[in-house]
Structure formats: structure tokens, C-alpha cells
Structure 1
Amino acid sequence: MTYIRPSRRLRRALPAIVLLIPAAGALAACDSAAAPPATSPASTAPTAGSGMQTIDNGGHRLAFYVTPGAAPAIVLDSGGGEDHTEWKDIVAKLHAATGSEIITYDRAGMGASDEVPGPWKVEDAVSDLTAGLTRLGVTGNVVLVSHSQAGEIATYFVRQNPRLVTGAVLVDANLPQFFTDDEIARLVAATKPQVDAAKAGPSTKESRQLIATAESFVATQHAYHHVAWPDAVPAVVMVSEKTPFDGSPEDVRRWHDAAKAFAAAGTGRTLVNADGSSHEVPADRPDLVLAEVEKMAAAGR
């Protein structure tokens, strides 16, 4: 089955799903068997200058893409519904500017990685990233760059591996402060029509991803709200101007307030505003992403 990336028009039409998924995907199945890995050249072609390595974790295969270089290793983790090609305009420039090893990957169900049945679990995503870096021989001095839903993965990953990560750049990322009980309820209500339609319609990769994430969303986000980022790991908190909720002033305010609260909650945190950007900061403001990652990498040397 070929994965077709959702159009920007679809993403704008479903702003709350940007948080559920966030840009339209997590993974899993509403049918009895997982679909085979995607084979579309558009979604599986390695980023220029990188080589794909297939890594097994718990019986499913994950595609990692490595551009060799020096320490610190820079790991780029895509937003929900995105594969490694989200960073295609950044990898070569980042490597040229830093000389660092650059690692991107396709999370389970994305790109060339296997689809895994069942509700989306952040613990599984953390396990996949940990397994990949371990098998690639990355044992320390990592700069983690995480967009959107990957912010949740980053938070749990850093808590489990505080000595592995020397710094993080959180790019308009899901942050614990945002997911209050009230906000979770708002998101569930806003996305219910799309989730119901996915359940009633044909089983596609996108619909399975939406259903899987929706099934675990309340419990996952409730738990995430109570998780703290370790003070020992510096973090740049980059927040977009328009946020995932352009057109919903109340949710825009809450998103910005969460970023401010996160930045103020610990030492070594810097708030950076991505002026003029939508939630798709890597595409809208690659210059800003590059600048902040370069600074974090220089501090990690």
C-alpha cells in the first residue's frame, strides 16, 4: 500500500488533528493485519547525501538515514504523519555547516519503516529511537531536534537517557504544559467527526493512523501533562507564530503560553519565536531551525 502524504489543504482543514497526530499520522491498524511498508519513491527515497540502514526492533523494521560526520550527532525527529523527508531541505546544509553526523529516520508506519498494529504508544516510539541509535553506535553527545509530536518522544527519551543528549531544539513541539484536561477535551471534541469518519470509511494507512492515535490520546496526553523535562539537558523552545491552530485564537494563546511556561520552568531553556511561520517551521523557516541547531551543536563540542 502506498502512503500519500496529506495535502497542506487537508492539514489546514483539521487543525486539532495536528495535535492528535499531529500532521495526520501516528500508526497502527483497524484491520487484522498491518499493511506492508510503504514503497512510494516520494515517501521512501533517502535524503540526498544519506544512506539508509534498516534496523530491527521487536520484530518490525525501521529505516534510519545517516550522513556520516563528527560529534555531536544531530538527530532530526519528524512531526506526526511525516517521514524523514520533512528535513530534506535542512540535512545537507546542516552537515555542511557543522560537519556533524546527521541522522533522520522514519517512525513505525511512516516512509520505509514497517507499520505496527495497535494504538500508538509513546513508549514504543522511544524504544524505536533508542534501538536505532544503539545499533548505529551513537552512545553520547546527541543533539536532538524534534518537531511537533516528536516533542513528546523527545521528553520521554531524554528522561530515560539524560547523559546521551547534550541538548535539544524543540520545533513547535508538543509540550506537557499544553495538555491540560480542558485542552484534551477540546481536542477530542474537535477531532471526533474525523475519527468517526475514519472508523466508518475504508481502512487506509491514514485512517488507521488516526484511529490508533485517537484510541490512546486521552490517556497518553493526560500522562504527558505531568512529565517534566530534565534540567540537566538544555533546550531551545521554538514556537511558531500561527501554531497548529491558526484560526482559533484561544488555542493559539494556549499554545504560546505553554511554550513560555516550558521555557520558564527550568534552567538552560531558551524561547525562540519563529515569526511568520505556520506549524510547519522546518519548511517555513529552515534558516531559523538551522541557526538554532548549529548553536546547540557548537555548545555540544
Structure 2
Amino acid sequence: MSRTTPNRRSVNRVLSALALLAVTAGAVTACGDHDSASTHTSASSVTSSASPGADKAGATSLHMIDNGGHRLAFHVTQGHGSTIVLDSGGGNDSSYWKDLVPKLHAATGATVITYDRAGLGKSDVVPGPWKVESAVSDLKAGLQQLGATRNVTLVSHSQAGEIATYFAEQNPKTLSGAVLVDANLPPLFTDEETARLLAFDQPEVDAAKKDPDTPQNRQLISTAESFAATSKAYYKATWPDSVPATVIVSEKTPFDGSPADAQHWRDAASSFVKDGPHRTLVTAEGSSHEVPKDRPALVLREIESMVAAHH
């Protein structure tokens, strides 16, 4: 199934290929950017509730979750019934979703969770190459310790699509559905395409190494170090048939300056949708890779639809 929507804002700038995996150009936000009055809660105090936290509905609280010796920041806007988890693309912390969270909460009444992946926002840095297995473990640990183990709608942008795929494979009963927003999907990562992405972005990686301590550059470098092996494995990953998925694909794609790569991106989304049941393809006409910024109403609508249909 395919739907189209009218254009609202043109693409901001051409994004480089590997950058979509590790840092979204022009959209990286400063760490923090959350209400300073947020409540800090230890992991041990939030493990027992059926839905995350025990805070007043509509209030956002910060929960620091320990996983394997490092701490991760999970931001919980308490609701009732179901849970929506928003996972940002590479290089972006949880504040990427700050404009969407209150709208989602108001529209659905659900608990809304955002979080900072390791090395971003308020979460601890984990040295070494980026490992999707570690990222999946971090997400799972946070949701388990927050009590969000059922009726979860996972919303994943860009690089977070990889995390979503492996999380869904391993924890299908946790998810009632997913909305994959211009996300990295397995069919994209053929050996040929992976080699193209690596070659295209080597100059950007080299430039990042000259200033390796910023969160964005650090993640770009760590992603590049593991990119070939990670991509080869991800190409073979499968999405469970039991988890419904809506795939929103941008018209411009991350490769607006490369027609061949842009077509491959769109073909990967189409192939993913055709490969299993309960999958819907939605095209965000006129949008750049930054669909949550370019077309927030579209993203909000598709999340609402997924929550309503599968809870």
C-alpha cells in the first residue's frame, strides 16, 4: 500500500551517504535540551511499574538506566495504556523529538519515551566501534527497567532502523507495531552499495578524525570503523511477520545529489514492504531525509494510526 502527501518544505541540503548513518547534517542538536525540572530517577526505582514510571500524566521525567556499566538517559512522558518509543537517527539525541512528544502524548494519551544513545545527550560514552548489538541491548535494558515490555510502538529514524530490526527480531512480543521513518533497511546494504557509501564518505570521516571529541564526530568515526561488517550482517536481517510496520520513505532521500543511490534507497523501502505481511509504504512527497522535521504532521498521523490499529 502506498500513500502520498503534499509538499511542505523543500530539502535543506544534500546529505552525504555515511552521514545519514552516523550524523544527520543540519539537524544535530545540542545535548540536554530538556526541562531542567525533570526528575532524576535511579533504575532500581522504576522497574516494577506496568507502564514506565509513576509520575504525573503529561510530565516528563529523566530516568538514568544502567546497562553493563554505562548509564543511559531515558526521558519519559507518562501516559496510560500503550507506550510509544522514539529513536532518533545517527548523531541526534532525544531532543530531536522534542516538538513531537507533547503532540503525540496529547493525541494518543500513551506514555512517550525518548532516549539518548550511548555517547549522545546525557548518556555515557562507550569507546570503540559502534556495535548495533550494544545499541539493541541498551534499548532493551531501558524498556525492561522502565516496565515497558508490552504494547510498545517503536518509531525509528535513519540509523535507528537497524536497532529496530534487531530489536523486533529478538523481542517481537514487546512490540505491537513500528513506524520506520526514512530508516536504514536491510535490502539497502548490498556489498556494492556498502562499498559505494564507504568510498563516498571517506573524506568526511577523515575530516572528523581531526576533531574527534565532539559527539557527532565521535559517532561518525565509530560507525565508520564497523560499517562494512555491520552492513554485511544487516543485509541478512529479517523483520518478524508478527510485527506490523509502516515505512515512511522520503521523496528526496538522504542521497538527493546521487540519483542512483536515491533510487536504491526507495527500492529498498519498497522491497522491505513487499517482503512480509502487515507492512505499509508511505511516501513523504517533497521531504528530505529529515521527515520528522519536514513533515511532522505526516509522522504524527502514521504513529497515531499504528497505535490505534494495534492496541
- Unpaired runs of at least 5, structure 2: 1-11, 36-57
CA distance in structure 1 between the aligned counterparts of 2:107 and 2:21, rounded to whole angstroms: 34
Say whether 1:93 aligns with 2:103.
yes
User: Per-residue CA shift, 1:234-275, capped at 9, x if unaligned?
Assistant: 000100011101111111100000000001000000000011
Amino acid at match of 2:260: E
Tell me, in whole angstroms, the C-alpha distance in 2 between the residues paired with 1:113 and 1:297: 28
The two structures have a TM-score, normalised by structure 1, of 0.88
Distance between the aligned counterparts of 2:91 and 2:243, measured in 1?
27
Pick from 40, 46, 52 the counterpart of residue 34 of structure 2.
Answer: 46
Q: Is 1:203 the counterpart of 2:212 in the alignment? A: yes
Deviation at 1:285, TM superposition (A): 0.5
Q: Is the 8 A contact 2:182 2:253 kept in 1?
A: yes
- The 8 Å contact of residues 20 and 187 in structure 1, kept in 2 or not, is answered as no
Name the SS for the 1:64 alignment partner: strand
Whole-angstrom distance in 2 between the partners of 1:263 and 1:192? 31
Cα distance in structure 1, aligned partners of 2:115 and 2:70 = 14
Contact 2:21 2:158 in 1 (8 A): no
2:18 and 2:198 in contact (8 A); partners too: no
2:238 & 2:230 partners in 1: Cα distance?
Answer: 15
1:44 maps to a residue whose letter is: G
Q: Which runs of 5+ in 1 are unaligned?
A: 1-10, 25-39
Q: CA deviation at 1:49?
A: 4.1
Which is further off, 12-21 or 280-289?
A: 12-21
- How far did 1:99 drift? 0.3
CA deviations on 1:83-102 (whole Å, 9 max, x unpaired) are 11111111101111100000
CA distance in 2, matches of 1:202, 1:110: 16
CA distance in structure 2 between the aligned counterparts of 1:164 and 1:202, rounded to whole angstroms:
40
Counterpart residue type for residue 19 of structure 2: V
Which aligned pairs between 1:172-211 and structure 2 lie closer than 5 A? 172-199=182-209, 201-205=210-214, 206-211=216-221
Alpha-carbon distance in structure 1 between the residues aligned to 2:197 and 2:78: 40
Matched with 1:113 is: 123
- Secondary structure, aligned partner of 2:31: helix
Amino acid at match of 2:144: T
Task: Name the CA distance, whole Å, in 2 between partners of 1:120 and 1:88.
Answer: 25
Q: CA deviation at 1:298?
A: 0.7
SS at match of 2:75: strand
Per-residue deviation, 1:195: 1.6
Aligned partner letter, 1:128? D
The equivalences for 1:207-222 within 5 A come to 207-222=217-232
Q: Which residue number corresponds to residue 86 of structure 2?
A: 76
TM superposition score normalised by structure 2? 0.85
Shift of 1:22: 4.5
Which deviations, in whole Å up to 9, do the C-alpha atoms of 1:74-120 show, x marking residues without a partner? 00000000111111111101111100000000000111111110100
Shift of 1:207: 2.8
AA in 2 matched with 1:176: P
Question: Closer, same or farther in 2 for the Cα pair 1:107/1:21, shift >3 Å?
Answer: same
Q: Does 1:160 align with 2:170?
A: yes
**Maintained 8 Å contact 2:118/2:125:** yes
Residues 79, 202 of structure 1: CA spacing in aligned structure 2 closer, same or farther, 3 A cutoff? closer
Code of the residue aligned with 2:91 in structure 1: it is: G
Alignment partner of 1:284 out of 291, 294, 298: 294
Letter of the structure 2 residue corresponding to residue 281 of structure 1: V
Name the count of aligned residue pairs: 274
The CA distance in 1 between the partners of 2:192 and 2:23, in whole Å, is 18
Deviation at 1:14, TM superposition (A): 4.6
- Show the counterpart of 1:35: none
Give me the CA root mean square deviation.
1.6
Q: Is the 8 A contact 1:17 1:23 kept in 2?
A: no
- The letter of the residue matching 2:34 is P
Q: 1:123 & 1:236 partners in 2: Cα distance? A: 23
* 1:262 partner amino acid: F
Distance 2:302 2:291 in 1: 12
The share of aligned pairs that are identical, in percent, is 63
